Amino acid sequence: MIVYRHCDPRFPFLWESADQPPARWHGAGEGPVNYFADTPDGAWAEFLRHEEITQESELVNMRRALWAVELQEDLSAETPRLDAGLLTGGMDTHEACRGEARRLRAKRAKALRAPSAALVPGGAGGWRVDGGLQPGAERDGVVFAVFGPQPDLVGWAATVSGHPRVDLLKRLRPL
C-alpha cells in the first residue's frame, strides 16, 4: 500500500529515534512513530493543520518534501476506540489519543489507522480530468501511525521542495 508523508527536505523521510516532538499518537520519548496519510493532500493537510497555516500567502515560501512510501500489504493497523470528536479534535484531545496509542502498543500493535484530523469529511476526494480539472468523488482521509523504527520501508521523493495546491485550504479542518 502506498501512503504519503511530508517532511523537512533536509532530513530523511522517517524518524529513527525517540527524539521526536510529541504529536497526536505519541508523547515525549515514545517514538519513533511515523505518520502517513492515504493521499498526498492528506499528508499536506496534516502539516498545514499542525503549523496552523490557513492563508494562501503562507504557502508562497513553503518548501517541504513529499514522499510516497510503501507500507507492508499485511500491516495490521488497529482502529482506535475513541469517538470522532477526540480523533479529529484540537491539541486538547492529544492526550486521550496518546493514551489510546499506549493501550494499542501494550497489545503489541504495530500501527494504527484513524480518520484524518486535518481534512474535513469528504476532503480527500482528489481530482479527475473531464473537460479540464474536476473534483473527484468525496472520500474521507485516513492516517496511519506506525510504531517503532522502520528500516525496511521504501520511499520515493514525490517532490523535494514544494507546497500544496491552494484549494486544499478550503478542505482543511483548522486546529
Q: What is the pTM for the complete model shown?
A: 0.93
Range of the domain at 76: 2-171
- Over its length of 175 residues, how does the chain's per-residue pLDDT go in tens digits? 999 999 999 999 999 999 999 999 999 999 999 999 999 999 999 999 999 999 999 998 889 999 999 999 888 999 999 999 999 999 999 999 999 999 999 999 999 999 999 999 999 999 999 999 999 999 999 999 999 999 999 999 999 988 888 989 999 998 8
Count of the separate structural domains present in the chain: 1
SS3 assignment for the chain: CEEEEEECCCCCCCCCCCCCCCECCECCCCCCEEEEECCHHHHHHHHHHHCCCCCHHHCCCCCEEEEEEECCCCCCEECCCCCHHHHHCCHHHHHHHHHHHHHHHHCCCCEEEEECCCECCCECCCEEECCCEEECCCECCEEEEEECCCCCCEEEEEEEEECCCHHHHHHECCC
